[in-house]
Amino acid sequence: MYYYRYDNPEVSCCYKYLMFSYNIIFWLAGAAFIAIGFWAWSEKGVLLDLTRVTQLHGFDPVWLVLVVGGVTFILGFAGCVGALRENICLLKFFSGVIGFIFFLELTVAVLAVVFQSQVREWFNNFFLQNIKAYRDDIDLQNLIDSLQKMNHCCGAQEPNDWNLNVYFSCNGSHQSREKCGVPFSCCIPDPAVSPVPIGTQPGLLRKEWSEKIFIQGCIPALEEWLPRNLYTVAFIFIVISLLQMVGIYLARTLIADIEKVRFSH
């Protein structure tokens, strides 16, 4: 009886199913993000009237959820199908996009350090713009309230920034019950029944601010938070970078295996 030994190389099942397992998590996570995003839009009635998407003057957090979910879903799909079907094009697409995202993250981080003053100014203008749109969208409102509560801050630079919002402004002839006030998330420690007045006489009422509301702006608060939590931020960045590099390594290794098998036949 003769036994034949086949020396033809085969695609590594280890790398193949590691690649699949790595991506199935992101694929499912992406699908969940997309579902949450559309659910949030349906709750706000956006799906019944798509023109409302362009009517919001501030930042809609649902957009971020949908974009992150969409990118994650597409990458997870490309990685899973590319691994199972041994499709080089999908695997190259996966590794290329992951590499581009990694490079983009590094670029943004470097630019943020180099152009700190411009980033601070942009973020300040961005925050003020969203203060104006505070009542336009419930998700934006919850995001700003959470930011102010977590960081014990009020407004972009100070509580007076809320004068830019038409409902809280002391200027004008509107009869809003929130006139000359700030959101409940600015209050210390529990909100009152009505908004805390900031008034039009700062000389008198500024003395009472520290007893009733947070007087520090959110941008200075975030600038103080970052140095205190630098190691945490660095750790998160390193973990994300390692996950991306593992994905690129698995994809490139699997591509090399597939090409080796195809060229050997």
Name the residue range of residue 116's domain: 86-264
Look at residue 125 and tell me if it is in a domain: yes
For residue 157, being part of any structural domain is answered with: yes
In this predicted structure, what is the pLDDT of residue 190?
57
Q: Is residue 61 part of a domain?
A: no
The DSSP secondary structure of the chain, one letter per residue, reads ------------HHHHHHHHHHHHHHHHHHHHHHHHHHHHHHHTTTTT-GGGGGT-SS--HHHHHHHHHHHHHHHHHHHHHHHHTT-HHHHHHHHHHHHHHHHHHHHHHHHHHHTHHHHHHHHHHHHHHHHHTTTT-HHHHHHHHHHHHHHT--SSSSGGGGGGSTTT-SSSS---TTTTEE-GGGBSSS--SSPEE--S-HHHHHHHHHHHB--S-HHHHHHHHHHHTHHHHHHHHHHHHHHHHHHHHHHHHHHHHHHHHHHH-
Please, are residues 34 and 70 in contact by the beta-carbon 8 Å criterion? yes
> Does the pLDDT value for residue 44 go beyond 50?
yes
In this predicted model, what pLDDT tens digit does every residue of 172-214 receive, in sequence order? Answer: 666 777 778 888 898 886 544 445 444 433 333 455 666 788 9
9 occurs within a structural domain: no
The answer to whether residue 101 sits within a structural domain is yes
Number of domains in the chain: 1
Residue 73 inside a domain? The answer is no
CATH number of the domain to which 221 belongs: 1.10.1450.10
Q: Is residue 132 part of a domain?
A: yes
Split at pLDDT 50, 70, 90, the class of 249 is very high
For residue 141, being part of any structural domain is answered with yes
Task: Supply the pLDDT for residue 169.
Answer: 84
What pTM was estimated for this model as a whole? 0.77
pLDDT score for 209: 66
Percent of the chain with pLDDT over 90: 47
The larger pLDDT score, comparing residue 114 to residue 175, is at 114
